[in-house]
Amino acid sequence: MVKISPTGIPVRANRSVKRWLSDHLDACLDSLGRFVLSPLQTLITLLVIAVALCLPSMLYMLVKSVESGMVNIQQSADVSVYFSPGIDEETSLQVQSKILSLESVSAARFLSPDRALQEFKEFSGLGEALTELSENPLPATLLVTPDVDQDIDALIRTIESFEAVDQVQFDFIWLQRLRALLEVVDQIALVLAAVLGTGVILILGNTIRLEIESRRDEVAVVKLVGGTNAFVQRPLLYSGVWFGLLGALIAWFLTNLFAWAMSKPLDSLGQLYLRDLSLVGLDSLELLVLLVLGIFLGWLGAWIAAARHLSAIEPG
Amino acid sequence: MIQFDSVSKRYPGGYEALKNVSFQLPRGEMCFLTGHSGAGKSTLLKLIMLMERATQGQVICQGVNLARISKKHIPYHRRRIGVVFQNHSLLNDRTVFDNVALPLLVSGAPYQETGRRVRAALDKVGLLTKEKKLPVQLSGGEQQRVGIARAVVHKPDLLLADEPTGNLDPELSADIMKLFADFNAVGVTMLIATHDVDLIRRMGRAEIKLDSGRLAVP
């Protein structure tokens, strides 16, 4: 409907939804078309945005991949509890049930000295040599599987306090240190994302400002024939959205390229630890988040630039 | 159509471009605004276009007191006015058609109507065959006519022109004035700033003369 201002001037054209959409489509395509006019400059800006977006997403991917690898490792990481020599099986089984009743423990398997020796023969490859031993040197053992994400140090201290227990061994202390380290890297990724995201806004703000400067005369003419700020601003906002979207797509490509490039060295590293190690690329939800983030930052940068510089341009 | 009541305009820095100017331009009139350079002709037109605001007095245009139009509503005020400049103010990276279509585009006129009206305007100024050309491919006189087509394409009631014949030879100037007279004949109110004295005499129209920012008796 045509709206009348308090002064009696009609202030709104009678535009249909279809026309509104087509106006936006025009501005959207027009701003994309302008990229072709200065391809090199556009490409450089896109790459800067892409690099800024892909650094945090690479770090994020690294943390995510290592974390998922760690869960696998920890699931098979048992705490070995060695009983003091001469402890009879009955006492051992009492300790086992005590340990099992602990909250942080999901399983505890009892190995008698004979059974432990047998397993040792099988896995160590020293089978024949061990038959030469006159007596079994191995103590009775409990293999305790802690729940994932439990404080293993506390668990070890508890078990050590049991009387019959001689020694508690856990080979995966490094896992916990790695976990702590990952938390730091996670924080760094967040801070980096915030800093670089601000960078993207500034870069785009500046790009759009230059665009406004180079179209100063055009803006003045459009305003003179009755173009509103919204009309002049529309293609600029779409420009920002395109920059953000395309930059995010390139960032996604770079991140996956990074995952691919890292797959071989990680494979070798994984083989050393008898584990499957691989970088898990961004899934479709994460890609979506990256794209939406890119679009939002691009739009925001363009909006800030337009708000600051567009209203200053007046005809005359 | 236009009414100035004791209007003064002082620019920041102290320069007083208009001093206590009062006049009325009735609807349907064609009037020349004359005076030497710096007499305040451009300032007077800028006040009507709301490119500047009066520091004193009031300007009433098409029944609206311009002081009451907020910054946000200025574009809608400008859409009711056509304006022609000495330097054409055309967009050089757009075709003649797109240049002329601009006022319709910004106001959201329907597309079918846009094509029809742009061609009608171009036909009126005799440039129908040049709609796909860029402004730089046209002569000065042709560029000025594109500017005029753009000023009338949305059928404004009021047409302002600031030295529209400033860069043209007498023959072309006469053509342009003939065009303006045609528009006036169909009811468009016109205010044309010029210092082309010969032209004004030949046209025999009303005249508002400015001298150092004051209204002078012509």
For residue A82, what is the domain's CATH number?
A: 3.30.70.3040
Identify the pLDDT of residue B212: 86
Mean pLDDT, residues A92-114 taken together: 81
Mean pLDDT calculated for residue range A161-190: 80
| Chain B: residue whose CA lies nearest to A226 | B75
What is the domain range of residue A155? 78-170
Tell the residue number behind the tokens 């082309």, with chain if given. Answer: B196
B78 contacts on A by Cβ (under 8 Å): 223-226
pLDDT at B71: 87
Same domain, A199 and A278: yes
Which of residues B102 and A314 earns the better pLDDT score?
Answer: B102
Q: Which residues of B touch A8 (CB under 8 A)?
A: 63-64
User: Structural domain tally of chain A?
Assistant: 2
Helix H, strand E, coil C: the string for chain B is CEEEEEEEEECCCCCEEEEEEEEEECCCCEEEEECCCCCCHHHHHHHHHCCCCCCEEEEEECCEEHHHCCHHHHHHHHCCEEEEECCCCCCCCCCHHHHHHHHHHHHCCCHHHHHHHHHHHHHHCCCHHHCCCCHHHCCHHHHHHHHHHHHHCCCCCEEEEECCCCCCCHHHHHHHHHHHHHHHHCCCEEEEECCCHHHHHHHCCEEEEEECCEEECC
In the block, residue with structure tokens 């391809």: A39
* Assigned domain for A3 exists: no
Q: Report yes or no on A208 lying in a domain.
A: yes
Q: Write down the pLDDT at residue A189.
A: 86
Q: What's residue B3's pLDDT? A: 92
> Which residues of B have a CB under 8 Å from any CB of A?
46, 49, 51-52, 63-65, 68-69, 73, 75-80, 83, 89-91, 102-103, 106-111, 150
Q: What is the residue range of B149's domain? A: 28-39+77-216
Residue B75 with chain A: CB contacts under 8 Å: 223, 226-228, 231
- Do A33 and A87 share a domain, yes or no? no
Between B73, B91, B106, which is nearest A11 by CB?
B73
Average pLDDT, chain A: 82
Which residue do the tokens 């691919």 mark? A260
pLDDT, greater one: A38 or B188: B188
Question: Which of A9, A314, A315 is nearest residue B77 as measured by Cβ atoms?
Answer: A9
**Does a structural domain hold residue B19?**
no
B1's tokens:
């159509």
- Look at residue B14 and tell me if it is in a domain: no
- The reply to whether B99 falls in a domain is yes
* Binary contact (B108, A15; C-beta < 8 A): yes
Q: Which of A8, A13, A22 sits opposite B107 (nearest CB)?
A: A13
Q: Is A152 inside a domain boundary?
A: yes
Residue B86 is part of a domain; what is its CATH number?
Answer: 3.40.50.300
Domain total of chain B: 1
Among chain B residues, CA nearest to A316 = B51
Closest CA to B122 of B89, B151, B90: B151
pLDDT value at residue B201: 80
Q: Could you tell me if A223 and B91 are in contact, meaning their C-beta atoms sit under 8 angstroms apart?
A: no
CA distance B91 to chain A (A): 6
> Looking at the partner chain, which of B49, B73, B107 has a beta carbon nearest the beta carbon of A9?
B73
* A47 and A104 share one domain: no
Q: Considering the domain boundaries, does residue A50 fall inside one? A: yes
Residue A27 has pLDDT above 60, yes or no: yes
Residue of A nearest to B47 (CA): A316
Q: How far is Cα A80 from Cα A170, in angstroms, rounded to an integer?
A: 6
Is the same domain home to A221 and A111?
no
Are A186 and A292 within one domain?
yes
Contact residues on chain B for A10, CB-CB shorter than 8 A:
76
Which of A148, A170, A192 is the last residue in one of the domains? A170
| Shortest distance, CA A215 to any CA of chain B (angstroms) | 10
For B135-171, the pLDDT digits (tens) are: 999 988 899 999 999 999 999 999 999 988 877 788 8
pLDDT of residue A276: 67
Give the end of a domain, one of A145, A170, A195: A170
pLDDT for res B152? 92
Task: Say which residue, A270 or B73, is predicted with more confidence.
Answer: B73
Q: pLDDT at residue A13 above 60?
A: no
pLDDT value for A120: 75
Query: Would you say residue A252 has pLDDT above 70?
Result: yes
Domain presence at residue B16: no
- Residues of chain A with Cβ-Cβ distance to B118 below 8 Å are none
Q: In this model, does residue A14 exceed pLDDT 60?
A: no
Question: Do A127 and A165 sit in the same domain of this protein?
Answer: yes
How many residues are listed for chain B in this entry? 218
pLDDT band at A1 (very low <50, low <70, confident <90, very high): very low
| Alpha-carbon gap, residue B84 to B124, rounded angstroms | 15
pLDDT of A4 = 61
B9, B102, B143, B162: best mutation site toward chain A, by most A Cβ within 10 Å?
B102
* Band (A269; pLDDT cuts 50, 70, 90): confident
Over range A116-140, report the average pLDDT.
75
Residues of B with Cβ-Cβ distance to A310 under 8 angstroms: none
Q: Which of A129-138, A180-189, A250-259, A278-287 has the lowest mean pLDDT?
A: A129-138
Q: What is the pTM of this model?
A: 0.74
- In-domain check, residue A294: yes
Lowest mean pLDDT among A76-80, A93-97, B102-106, B204-208: A76-80
* Partner residue opposite A226 with nearest CB, options B64, B69, B103: B103
Share of chain A above pLDDT 90, in %: 22
Of A141, A170, A199, the residue at which a domain comes to its end is A170
DSSP E strands in chain A: the ranges are 79-83, 105-111, 141-146, 165-169
Q: How confident is the model at residue A90 (pLDDT cuts 50, 70, 90)?
A: confident
Q: How far apart are the first and last CA of chain A?
A: 32
**pLDDT, tens digit, for every residue of B90-133?**
998 899 999 999 999 888 888 888 999 999 999 988 899 999 99
Give yes or no for residue A284 having a pLDDT over 70: yes
